[in-house]
């Protein structure tokens, strides 16, 4: 299996973080526009709660702004950003005592009301949130949306690379079957 090419220009993101460390507000805006989808998708895939995911999105970028000076470029800026998001997700988990998954019908209501989404988008996001296990969802989102390489996903999720590879393959096949069925 080949790794999906990154959706996020590593060099540009790297440069944005360096500029943020020097206090450049416009670099923060640029970084936000480049990576907000990846961060939100990951946070939503972990928390399964749109409000929590939005809060994690917010806190992640404030933390990036705070800690940009600590970032050392190793050509893996997305892994760094998503590690911050992961820690914030788990911090919420600690504060709340448990993950507060939104019930399925609440998720449905939320996404139906979101006019930014096409019918296909709605079907896809609900399939990911309702039909996949947490691990499956995080693996596909981290690869397909956040553009992380499988080995980076393995490191972030503390899983063996072979597990990530096989789960990714199986989950894509599962989604294919679900989406084909629902599209009929």
Q: Which residues bind another protein (CB under 8 A)?
A: 4, 7, 21, 23, 25, 28-29, 32, 36-37, 40-41, 44, 48, 54, 57-59, 61-62, 65-66, 68-69, 87, 90-91, 93-95, 98-105, 111, 114, 116-118, 120-122, 124-125, 128, 130, 132-137, 140-141, 143-145, 158, 172, 175-176, 179-180
Considering beta carbons, is residue 44 or 77 the nearer one to another protein? 44
Residues contacting residue 8 through CB under 8 Å, at least 6 positions apart: 34, 35, 38, 78, 146, 147
Query: How near is the Cβ of 124 to another protein at its closest, in Å?
Result: 4
**HEC assignment per residue over 30-57:** HHHHHHHHHHHHHHHHHHCCHHHHHHHH
Helices 77-96 and 25-47: angle between axes, nearest 10 degrees: 50
Considering beta carbons, is residue 10 or 63 the nearer one to another protein? 63
Query: How near is the Cβ of 109 to another protein at its closest, in Å?
Result: 11
| Contact by Cβ (8 Å): 117, 131 | no
């Amino acid at each position: 299996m080949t790794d999906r090419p990154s959706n996020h220009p590593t060099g540009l993101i790297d440069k944005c973080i360096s500029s943020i460390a020097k206090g450049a507000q416009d670099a923060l805006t640029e970084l936000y526009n480049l990576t907000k989808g990846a961060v939100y998708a990951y946070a939503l895939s972990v928390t399964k709660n749109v409000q929590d995911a939005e809060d994690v999105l917010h806190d992640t970028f404030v933390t990036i702004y705070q800690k940009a000076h600590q970032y050392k470029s190793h050509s893996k800026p997305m892994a760094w950003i998503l590690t911050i998001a992961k820690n914030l997700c788990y911090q919420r988990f600690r504060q709340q005592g448990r993950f507060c998954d939104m019930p399925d019908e609440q998720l449905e209501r939320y996404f139906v009301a979101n006019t930014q989404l096409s019918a296909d988008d709605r079907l896809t996001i609900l399939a990911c949130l309702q039909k996949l296990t947490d691990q499956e969802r995080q693996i596909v989102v981290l690869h397909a949306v956040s553009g992380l390489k499988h080995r980076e996903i393995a490191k972030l999720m503390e899983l063996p690379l072979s597990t990530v590879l096989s789960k990714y393959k199986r989950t894509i096949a599962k989604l294919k079957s679900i989406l084909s069925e629902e599209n009929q």
